[in-house]
Chain A
Amino acid sequence: MIYDTVVIGGGPAGLAASIKAREEGLNVLLLDEKDYLGGILPQCIHPGFGLHYFKEDLTGPEFAHRLIEKLEDMGVEKRLTATVLDITVEGDKKKVKYVSPEGLESVATKSIIYASGARERHRFELGIVGDRVAGIFTAGEAQTLMDIYGVMPGKEVVIVGSGDVGLIMARRFALEGARVKAVVELMPYPGGLARNIVQCLQDFSIPLYLSHRVLEIRGRKRVEGVKIAKVDDNLESLPGTEFDMPCDTVIISAGLIPRIKLLKKLGVEMDANTGGPMVDENLETSISGIFVAGNALLINDLVDYVVEQGEIAALSAKKYVEGSLQPSRRIRIRAEGNLRFVVPQYVSGKRDVILYGRVKKPQEGAIFKFREIGEERRYPVVKPSEMFKIKLRVERIPSNIRELTLEVK
């Protein structure tokens, strides 16, 4: 038996992809290594999910629940506690090898939707020196402890990183009676949304240290404190500005990295700027029939985009299975200026495409320009914390072009 598509990962991207693929009549298998579906949503018990997709303000578990119910209703075939160990490609046929308590399986499929999410950066990657003791957690790890398993990780907390995840965790700790002593941010501006600065920090009187760096964690068995310093414009710590802050818990919330080990092993073309694979407008990777969605593709700030990508991947898989998917790696799109990345990295030039992107630094009066076609758009403010979407219209793309540069000035 051959599946039309195997979806790897049962977070919102994988759930949405499975549902859409089933709706389109594909024969789908969904695999997730955890013993529950929803990816990281079940541990995000705060509201703020689904404003675009369901036009409602839901919590993470509520958002996941809606997708899971739909999936169950449609009778999508799934395996939980099923970890994908390997993918092999032989021409059009692909094999997915996974292990579960039922045994070691290898299933054949025509296409794959890879939706394995992201991992968190850890303190060693950030170069934080000092002791390696209890009380140091990544944000997601602390969130799992608190909101899946009901454990309080500590009493006096310092948070490294002011992205939305860090801000939400600061509030989460404060709500359970912990003292959040600082959110420390390397950049001169916060990494998270303005509404989260207000709702998660200011409302709880939690101090935000911009342009500061946690240099060192100290403690014998458990964290006893951190050493913090101010940084200059080059993000180098300024001598003489160091100070100690006692605490028993350090939360590392300094960015996510797409989890794409299996794709790397296959030799899929990667984008150093997103940390994910290079895709075209069908979200197809450099290996035909392998599609990517969600945080495995790029780090999204809203679950709504993640779901959208899952659906696009499913529609593409459907066309691929039918043999009607048009190869779309024709025009390479490059990011320049104050632009960190743009996805997809390739387009066909044959239809309108929504591009996702993120800027490097906040900027007022930003001009987005497609250099080769001279098209410009102005935005009053852009921030790294908010991914933007921009539409590239087919009629604006000259037929002979092979490369397009999107720059932000």
Chain B
Amino acid sequence: MYKVIIIGAGISGMSIARELSKYENLKIIVVERKSDVGWGVSKANTALIHGGYDDDPDLYPVRAKLCARGNDIWRKWVKELQIPSVWNGALVIAKNDEEMKELEILLKRGERNGVNGMRIISKEELLKMEPNLSPDSQGALWIPSVGQIAPIPAVVALAENAVDNGVKIIFDSPVEKIKVKDGKVKGVRVSNGFIEGDIIINAAGLYADEISKMAGLDYFTIHPRKGEYWLFDDTAGPKPKHVLFPAPTKKTKGVVVTTEVSGHLMIGPNAKDQDDKEDLANTKEGLEEVWNKAKLIWPKLPPRSKVIRTFAGLRPETKKADFIIKAEEVYGFINVAGIRSPGLTAAPAIAMEVKEIIERDLGIKLKKKNKWKPYRKEITHFFMLSPQQIREKIRENNAYGKIVCKCNKVSEGDILEAIERMKKIGIKVPSIDSIKFRTKATTGTCQGSFCRVKIAVILAREYNIPLWKVTLKGRGSEIGVGDVKSLLREVEA
């Protein structure tokens, strides 16, 4: 039995955990510094399952190899794990002759990377497909294989399935040190103890450089590159039918205009380098940049009063800009680093790659479990039920008859299911965001001003803690500072 430690419960770490959970001679533990899965880079991104035409195989061979492959595997995974997804294809829009030439390059590159079904379409066909596009669009590259998923629900689904197959996750446990002896990894130190391991997989996102350094491997650094987004109310439009890209630049694929999986119009991201790995603030400049760029391809943006949220994510960039996925000279240490875009798309292929590395480079022969469970069921969403199903659910448990989030029609029953599953994967610090990403509560028109407190009340009851200790997004983000008389008592004392 080999003990495997995966550092980081993002889309990479959880895909690897699920894939490795197929083997009976691996005992897997995932160590995560935050209070839930998927709260690193995997939380805030464009959520696209890219086609694979964008990654130049000469410059970024690993990306080029894994992107199209990941796209393929996702189609199976979203079914096995019931992850919300749409497969509506993308259009890369050219506005002049030069950009039309760029499309040819993308087309060739895509074909080289094994992307199927792409073709260049005329202005006429383009405007028929998307009548609200800017009229100065000249033509586009059509990539039918592009899809979209709900990224955190995807990580949650992987985590639930992995745990169901024997994986253990520990939260609120930043890795502080890695023990290496005689050129081999021995384990990791976290704040409250030491975890032994024979294989350590570094999938720590923005912090993968620091983790690598802990193992004595100091050949790359991770630079955060911020991308900002606007998200509109579900009633705001017009909304495109496909994912819309401008012609790409060297640095990014550009500001996308899309209707995301839940049906909201979303625009973003821009790309701005920074030093701070924790600075996720939205900036006026960044948001303006996104707005102006989106307007170039989608002139009929809704009024700003229809914005329900702005947010930002950080890409974990390395100088070479390719994924670093390999067994290092320290035996048992595998880096899964620099997982920038298209990391979400590539995640399942990354997991397969890691499995191969374990067999090929670590020389471990993996034995398949007889009873590995490929399926995971999505939680109940009241808003997706038919009247008949609603009646049945309420008969089963009348909590399904209590609406907590009215904007998105989320019932207390949905929330109780989410809590049960949070506990099952080992979440110790209850947070409103954990409920938000599992149920969609608080993400509608009112942005939670009516339901956040109701959710906190349910969490406090189910986790048996005082209401004020419920957090918004993990330890250190408690919703209150004490009971309502606590400050006055402090003054008296």
Contacts and interface: CB of A to CB of B under 8 A. Distances in A.
7 contacts: A33-B403, A102-B394, A104-B391, A131-B282, A151-B480, A216-B281, A218-B281
B190 interface: no
B475 to A, nearest CB: 8
Contacts of B384: none
A107 interface: no
Contacts of B486: 152
A104 B482 contact: no
Contact of B457 (A102, A119, A149): A149
A85 interface: yes
Contact of A129 (B284, B450, B485, B491): B284
Given A104-B390, A129-B284, A176-B485, 9 more contacts: A83-B406, A125-B305, A131-B281, A134-B478, A140-B449, A141-B453, A150-B467, A150-B485, A248-B481
A99 B446 CA distance: 20
B445 A149 contact: no
Nearest to B231: A124
Interface in A127-157: 127, 129-134, 137-138, 140-141, 144-155
A124 B468 CA distance: 24
A104 B411 CA distance: 13
Interface in B270-287: 278, 280-284, 287
B447 A215 contact: no
Interface in B188-203: none
A125 B310 CA distance: 10
* A-B pairs, 8 with minimum CB distance: A177-B487, A101-B398, A134-B477, A221-B476, A83-B403, A134-B472, A101-B401, A151-B480
B331 interface: no
A100 interface: yes
A144 B479 contact: no
A81 interface: yes
B488 A221 contact: no
B304 A127 contact: yes
A99 B484 CA distance: 33
Chain A contact-residue range equals 35 or more
Interface in A87-139: 99-104, 119-120, 122, 124-125, 127, 129-134, 137-138
A393 B195 CA distance: 83
Interface in B456-481: 457, 467-468, 471-481
Interface in B154-185: none
Contact of A151 (B235, B406, B445, B479): B479
B477 A103 contact: no
A101 B387 contact: no
Contacts of B280: 131-132
B484 A150 contact: yes
Contacts of B401: 81, 99-104
Given A33-B403, A101-B398, A151 B467 contact: yes
A134 B281 CA distance: 13
Given A33-B403, A101-B401, A104-B391, A141 B282 contact: no
Contact of A132 (B278, B308, B311): B311
Contacts of B457: 149
A396 interface: no
Q: Indicate the member of B280, B387, B450, B473 with the most A CB atoms within 10 Å.
A: B450
Interface residues of B, number: 58
B452 interface: yes
Contact of A103 (B283, B309, B394): B394
B481 A155 contact: yes
B409 interface: yes
B78 interface: no
A176 B488 contact: yes
A33 B475 CA distance: 32
Contacts of A125: 305, 307-308
A147 B484 CA distance: 8
A98 to B, nearest CB: 9
B39 to A, nearest CB: 12
Interface in A315-354: none
A130 B446 contact: no
Contacts of A149: 453, 457, 467
A124 B483 contact: no
B390 A99 contact: yes
B112 interface: no
A85 B409 CA distance: 8
A124 B447 contact: yes
Given A144-B453, A216-B281, A81 B402 contact: yes
Q: Indicate the member of B280, B399, B449, B476 with the most A CB atoms within 10 Å.
A: B449
A138 B305 CA distance: 17
Contacts of A119: 445-446, 449-450
A145 B283 contact: no
B58 interface: no
A220 interface: yes
A25 B348 CA distance: 66
Contacts of B283: 129
A383 interface: no
A147 B485 CA distance: 11
B490 interface: yes
A248 B467 CA distance: 18
A25 B283 CA distance: 58
B453 A177 contact: no
A222 interface: yes
Contacts of B391: 103-104
Contacts of A146: 484
A220 B255 CA distance: 27
A261 interface: yes
B468 A152 contact: yes
Nearest to A85: B409
A178 interface: yes
Nearest to A141: B449
A176 B304 contact: no
B75 to A, nearest CB: 32
Contacts of B474: 221
A216 B312 CA distance: 14
Contact of B479 (A100, A104, A131, A134): A134
Given A33-B406, A103-B394, A104-B394, A221 B281 contact: no
A100 B472 CA distance: 28
A261 B487 contact: no
